Structure 1
Amino acid sequence: MRTLIESQYFPCLEYFSVIKNRKEVWIETKEHFVKQTYRNRCYILDANRVLPLAIPMIGGNKNIPMDEIKIDYGQKWLNNHWRAIISAYNKSPFFEYYEPYLHKILYKKHETLLGLNNEVLTFCLKVLNIDTEIKYTSTYEKGPFDETEDIRSVIHPKSDYICREYFTPIPYQQLFGSKFATNLSILDLLSCVGPDADKYL
């Protein structure tokens, strides 16, 4: 059985837990971009709170296919994201090992959101030692499907992971706060536990 899921920006741990436990995952590329989802946002933990990082899109209010939606570099989101990531994780045990790769990916300035997300995903799968076969759709199919697990838009920032059965968090040492913040971006896990990150998924 194949699993169909949307593309995400520095995805949350639940997303990677799904991928790690599947043999074949298809990334949806032909759906219309959906606002206020993980497609163009992630959540990190800084000294004050869980902080959302959202990428502005060109024509985000229009029905533009995911593989055509373009990133708006007219806004200063890129430097803001990088400063926020540095502020949140610069003192973490393992961030220094990933920093040059993350910087290179972000500052390549991909034209499309899908291009950026795909490179982020490729990097993360490599460092997490996840060998799931990743494929990309070439047409949009609404469904229902035979022998396909369709979880597009199921993992959503407005819907708590406890409503689903894909992910059971294991607390790890975070830099800030006395209460463990669950299901953050993979950036948090990698920065805090490094090469042991795959064990937490």
Structure 2
Amino acid sequence: MKTLIESQYFPCLEYFSLLKNRNEVWIETKEHFTKQTYRNRCYILGSDRILPLAIPMIGGNKKIPMDEIKIDYSQKWLNNHWRAIISAYNKSPFFEYYEPYLHKILFTKHDSLLVLNNEILTFCLKILHIDTEIKYTSTYEKDPFNETEDVRSVIHPKSDYIYRAYHTPIPYQQLFGSKFATNLSILDLLSCVGPDADKYL
């Protein structure tokens, strides 16, 4: 059975837990971009709160396919995201190892959100030693065939992971807060535990 899922920006741990336990995953490229989802946002742990990082899109209110939606670089989101990431993880044990690769991916300034997300996904899968076969759709199917596990928009920031069975959090040492913050962006796990990250998924 193949799994169909949307593209996400620095996905949460639940997303990678699902990918890790599937043999074949298809990334949806032809759906319409949807606002206020993980497609263009992620959550990291700052010094005093969980921070949302959202990429502004050109025509985000219009019905534009994911493989056509463009990133709005007229806004200063890129520098703001990078400053937030540095502030959150610069003192973490492993961030320095990933920093140059992350900086290169972000500051290449891909026009397309899908291309940026794909670059991030490829990097993370390699670091996490996840060998799931990743493919990309060429057409949109509202109701895929029965042999397809359709989880598009299931992993959603407004829907708690505890209501699904994809991810069981294992606490790890985070930089801030006395209470463990669950299901953050993969940036948090990589920065805090480094090479052992795959064991927590």
Amino acid of the residue matched to residue 128 of structure 1?
L
Q: CA deviation at 1:145?
A: 2.0
CA distance in 2, matches of 1:157, 1:42: 9
Name the structure 1 match of 2:39.
Answer: 39
Instruction: Report the equivalent of 2:111.
Output: 111
Q: Which residue of 2 aligns with 1:132?
A: 132
> What secondary structure is seen at the aligned counterpart in 1 of 2:83?
helix
The SS at the match of 1:81 is: helix
Q: Which residue of structure 2 lines up, in the alignment, with residue 187 of structure 1?
A: 187
Residue number in structure 2 paired with 1:77: 77
- Per-residue CA deviations over 1:148-170 (Å, capped at 9, x if unaligned) read 00000000000000011111000
Paired residue secondary structure (2:64): coil
Does 1:48 pair with 2:48?
A: yes
Q: CA deviation at 1:131?
A: 0.2
The residue aligned with 2:14 is: 14
Counterparts of 2:43 and 2:102 in 1: how far apart (Å)? Answer: 16
Aligned to 1:188, what secondary structure does the other structure show?
Answer: helix
Q: Percent identity between the aligned chains?
A: 88
Aligned length: 201
Q: Distance in 2 between matches of 1:140 and 1:108?
A: 29
Backbone CA RMSD of aligned residues: 0.4
Paired residue for 1:63?
Answer: 63
Distance 2:84 2:48 in 1: 12
Q: What corresponds to 1:29 in structure 2?
A: 29
Instruction: Give the Å deviation of 1:2.
Output: 0.1
Q: Secondary structure at the match of 1:141?
A: coil
Give the Å deviation of 1:146. 1.7
Greater displacement, 138-147 / 73-82? 138-147
What's the CA shift for 1:144? Answer: 4.2
Aligned equivalent of 1:89: 89
Find the counterpart in structure 1 of residue 167 from structure 2.
167
TM, length-normalised to structure 2 = 1.00
- 1:11-64 deviations in whole A, cap 9, x for unaligned? 000000000000000000000000000000000001010000000000000000
In 2: Cα distance, 1:21 partner to 1:46 partner = 30
2: CA distance, partners of 1:166 / 1:115: 25
**For 1:64 and 1:14, how far apart are their aligned partners in 2?**
26
State the SS of the aligned residue for 1:19.
helix
The SS at the match of 1:135 is strand
Q: Distance in 1 between matches of 2:13 and 2:145?
A: 26
3-state SS of paired residue (2:44): strand
Distance across 1 between alignment mates of 2:183 and 2:125: 17
**TM-score, length basis structure 1:** 1.00
What are structure 1's unaligned runs of at least 5 residues?
none
4+ residue runs over 3 A deviation: none
State the alpha-carbon separation in 2 of the partners of residues 52 and 78 from structure 1.
13
